[in-house]
Amino acid sequence: MSDLNSCTGRWRLALLALATLSPGFVLASTGDGLARPESGYYADVRVHFAFDDMAAVRLFDGNDFRSEMKWEYAEIETLLANSGATALDRLFFEHSPESLELLKKNGEARRGITLPDLNNWYTVVMPNEDSARELASQLSSSPFIRYAALTPIPVPNAVDISPTTPNYMSFQDYQDAAGYGVGIASAWAETNGTGVGVSIMHHEGGWVTDHEDTDMVYTGGGNSSDSGWWNHGTACVSILAAPNNGYGVTGLAYGADQMLSRGFWDNGSPNTWIACQGYLEVGDVISASWGYGGSLPSGYNCSCNPGQAGGQPAESDQADFDAIQTITANGYIVLNSASNGCVPMDNALYNGKYNLNVRDSGALIIGAIDPGGAPACFTNYGSRVDAHAWGSAVYSSGYGDLFTGGGDDRQYYTSGFGGTSAACPIVSGAVATLQAVYKQRNGGAVLDPWELRSLLRSTGTPQTSQAGTKPISNMPDLAELLVAIGGGGPDVTPPSISHTPIVSSGFTGPFPVSTTITDPSGVNSVVLHYSVNGGGYNALGMAAQGGNVWLASIPAQTAGNSVDYYITASDGAAPPNAATSPTWSFTVLSSSSGIVLLTPSTSAKSSGSEWQAALTSAGYSGTIMNVDDLSGIVLGSNVDAVIVLLGIYSNNFVLPAGSSMASELADFINSGGNVYMEGGDCWAYDPGSSGGADFNSLFGVTGLADGSGDLSTANGQGLLGGSYAYTGENAWIDRLGAAGATLLFTNSAAGYNCGYYQNGARTTACTSFELAGLANFDTIVQTLFGPALFDVLGAASDTTPPTVALNCLGTEWYAENPQVSATASDASGIASVTLRWQINGGPQQSAAMTPQGGDNYSGTLAGASFGSSVSYVVDAVDASANSNSATSNSCGTTIVAPANLVYSPSSASGEALPGASDAVPVSLQNTGGQSLDWNVSVTQDPFPSVAHSTRIHAPARLSKGQQDTRPGQRPSNSGGPDAGGYSWIDSDEVGGPAVSFNDISSTGTPVSLSDDQLAGPYSLGFSMEYYGTSYSEVYVCSNGFLSFSSTTAGYVNQLIPDGANPDGVIAPFWDDLNPASGGTVYVQQVGATFVAQWSAVDHYGNSDNYTFQ
């Protein structure tokens, strides 16, 4: 045996390029029934093998195996050299040894287990399957080798169960609530519940990568040109994450961050598992709906799906198992279909391969159920199966038997996708949405594969039968799973309401009411309710101001009025939660009103006289107090507003930090008073040198040093035309709505500490320089400030009442608690509209009417029941300082019970031949108070254009004479109604029609028919409505049916109706019949009856014959 440090005498493999194979060279399959692809990884016959993990074995120079144990592997090298192998490589050649070692290290640390060494896996290309089997056997007998086998070819796990139906998204019933589907609506109602924050990788053999109903990103790896593969992959991807775009189908996790795909044809499936995780983050999902061929234990069969008998999931191959175990240990979620091989996975034949106590890849294995919830006849089953889902009648993209888009495979859809191939993406999509919600609830943390397995097995909808003999676990129930993961569930917490109450003062309003509302589900509506002097409550919708703040204003009040008010809020939960605040009260004190001008005594020109002149010219009639401090003035009892004047630089007025004057102003602002401040120097010229601590939170402006302030976003009214031209400054004035505001006037130059801020009832804005320094300040204040600002103090008197009109319901109304509408308008705006009503002359009731947009309002006459008389009017109050009011016209209405038709029977029908009649007794009675006009009409009930059909299997594409061996389903003796409203019942059922066999074999006309032949048309002798179309003639087919419109004689029965010919069909016994072999078909028309009779007609290919008409 040679020295490890020398390559002398070492065997070297001759590497043959795949191009040396002829383009048409195709090898036989490895026993799985599939042809080997012509190119790529699986075009070669391969053996993959793994060295025992006692040592890390690495390949040098293409043929030299070495390990850190310094063991010699010459016998393996010799075995390979003599085998006829044409190429040798690392099995996971797509990934560097270092990256695989890192996966192993991280996975072992995460799971606390020993993972296989993926660098110990190798693949060798062999000339044929016989030599490959011999090599695998020889390698398996070596003590250095822990596994060796022919490389299997992947098999799609699709089974075509359900036929087509002419609808798409509404038929994705596997998404329905528990008991029928996975309950996806519960996930979609959650934040991120459509899959946001999670990516999905589809490990597959092919796709239509540009299908119209997918946002899939193809990452390479080989895309099969075989239509079976690309239809299969397209179907799976659409179930997982087809976009919610209003057409086609909608994926369970349509909001997933990415829908990726990776093929396995270029580098083999084991390599592809590792490649998939490279595109994902921990917690993301890999879904694979394929497996490998295999065998069944003795005494077992798979009669319903013999072509895939013995098929097994991907982890049945040890190389795939090792790859899957490595990536799941690293936190990636793998789901794989259990396969459609009828395999009892716990059987001793499989040597514990599917016993989780012996061997656990970490993958979630998915079985399939039939429409009744029992294990599908083909599904693999056993303790290894973690969950199940639908295995038939699954609507998806692909295949084109539902819709073909004119033959464009980018528009193919099917209603018949099935097998564990369909079940796997259903569960994968559910898992992706569950992971997304868990991740959102837990700050980015994710569920690992074993936590998900435990959740799937402990929750969900059980199989309906055979749990002891064919266990396939549960179908996911997302409603239950979302509760099980904790941290979520329905929001039952009402909103939180925070408000600083209004205090009693001489202030007459309007009274801004600001509240902060918080709720995890968001806030839908907030309403302010107020009552004056113990009267009825008025309701005002509060407006969102941003930052959870809501605002409304109680209209101005006269001195002596007492006001009670409270706030209600509802959140965005389903159903919504509501909260009601405590009731607060305040009184408008009787005192003379006034405005305080706080003027700096050190100013060269105080500007107080200019402000007094401006207020007077604006129409203010209250007392104006010009003072240099607040001594002896109780703010709130007799003050409409305080205006703090700045003065002229360099004698600017500054409120002392923490002074009683600053605190008193802050308290006045918080109690609802208006404060107007000219110039930031008053309180926050420089940080820490003023009363900023008292006012920063009120105005939202932080004191800034000279040179750093800026106002680039102020919006308001410019002070244009001023005589003082200072190019570095702009002029702004702003206020909050017609109800008034607290303003800050401050310098607007970039070099000054200017800012703009709006918070509830307070707004910070800017003006130009010190106003008193402007030569024409008097004019500016009087002509601009007056109309723009001081009308909010009630100076501009609006004495015109609003216009209000009530829309009467009429003298009678036929519903209880009716809605009424009114219109109200006023130049000053409308503060409130109230509906007042009396029922049967009783106590007066009132309620605020709800704005409906524009001048329109609506309200409810609550308590107005049948038999009562109600009178009602509407009051409107405008938004002016005077709170002008008006009352509408009055209305009166009697509430009358509506007409109520009582009839029996609930339905009636009759049958009559042409020229005959039939009497049908019907009882009609009006039990209501309203007059009832009625009529009865008799119409012929036409057939609809489309009807649903009973179905269990897809239309079988059988060759002539081939038997359909699939088990059938006995049709119901009665049923309906179908989509067109029609029901059916057999003649031998109670209530069924009376039918007698009218043998026409001796009187009818023989029809000359051979095999698969159609004759006619024959006149019916009358017109007949069938599926909305009138017919008077018919074709007769040898295969047991009549057709009104087709000349096609199909020998395989199809749906009625179908998108393809024959259509317009009556099929008493549609099958492959052959009158040429024996029997005769007759027709006869007698009066209003047409009879077609098949007498002793042979079945094609056997000796059975049938008679029917």
Closest CA to 1041 of 1074, 1014, 1067: 1067
How would you label 881-890 residue by residue, b for 16+ Cβ within 10 Å and e otherwise? Answer: bbbbbbebee
- The Cα–Cα gap between 216 and 455 comes to 28
Residues of the chain with CATH 2.60.40.10: 496-587, 803-893
The yes or no reply on domain 496-587 and CATH 2.60.40.10 is yes
For the segment 659-713, what is each residue's pLDDT rounded down to a tens digit? 677 777 777 777 767 776 665 444 443 333 343 444 544 544 443 333 333 334 3
Q: How far apart are CA 879 and CA 899, in angstroms?
A: 45
Q: What's residue 900's pLDDT?
A: 81
Question: What integer pLDDT is reported at residue 655 of this predicted model?
Answer: 61
61: left (phi over 0), alpha (psi -120 to 50) or beta: left
Unique residue bearing structure tokens 């509501």: 578
Tell me the fold of 169-484.
Answer: Rossmann fold (3.40.50)
User: In 3D, which of 607, 637, 920 has the Cα closest to residue 769?
Assistant: 607
- Domain 594-793, CATH 3.40.50 — does that match? yes
CB 822 within 8 A of CB 890: no
Exposure of 381 in the CB half-sphere (CA atoms within 13 A): 23
**How many C-alpha atoms does 851 have within 13 Å on its Cβ side?**
16
Whole-prediction pTM:
0.46
**Distance in angstroms (rounded) separating the CA atoms of residues 899 and 878:** 42
Give the list of residues 6+ apart from residue 767 with CB closer than 8 angstroms, or none.
678, 719, 731, 732, 733, 745, 746, 747, 748
Pick the CATH number of 803-893 from 2.60.40.10, 3.90.1150.10, 3.10.129.10, 3.40.50.720: 2.60.40.10
Residues of the chain with CATH 3.40.50.200: 169-484
Which pLDDT belongs to residue 795? 37
- Write out 38-55 in H/E/C secondary structure: CCCHHHCEEEEEEECCCC
Strands in 867-982 per DSSP E: 869-878, 885-887, 891-895, 901-904, 923-926, 974-975
Determine the number of helices (DSSP H) and then strands (DSSP E) in the chain.
Answer: 15, 59
Q: Is residue 1075 classed as helix, strand or coil in its secondary structure? A: coil
Nearest one of 965, 960, 945, 966 to 1050, comparing CA atoms: 960
Q: Are strands 258-263 and 199-204 parallel, antiparallel or unpaired?
A: parallel
| 647 vs 643: CA distance, rounded Å | 12
**Is the distance from CB of 449 to CB of 363 less than 8 angstroms?**
yes
Tell me the β-bridge partners of 1089.
1086
The pLDDT of residue 183 is 92
Q: Could you tell me which of 808, 838, 806 has the C-alpha nearest to residue 824?
A: 806
Taking a C-beta distance cutoff of 8 angstroms, is the pair 579, 523 a contact? no
pLDDT at 854: 86
Q: DSSP of 745-806, one letter per residue?
A: E-B-STTS----EEETTEEE--BSS-GGGSTTHHHHIIIIIHHHHGGGGT-S---PPPEEEE
pLDDT score recorded for residue 990: 77
Position 715 scores a pLDDT of 34
Q: What is the mean pLDDT of each run of 10 residues along the chain (1109 residues)?
A: 26 23 24 58 89 85 73 83 90 89 91 91 92 93 91 73 46 86 91 93 91 87 88 95 89 90 86 92 96 94 94 95 96 97 96 94 97 94 97 92 84 91 97 95 92 95 94 95 78 83 73 85 89 92 85 84 91 81 77 67 53 64 69 64 66 62 74 64 40 45 38 34 31 30 40 38 40 47 44 49 90 91 85 90 89 91 92 84 75 87 73 61 79 70 40 55 65 65 74 83 91 88 80 90 78 62 74 90 88 92 86
The two three-digit tokens of residue 951, written as one number: 């179905």
pLDDT (0 to 100) of residue 131:
93
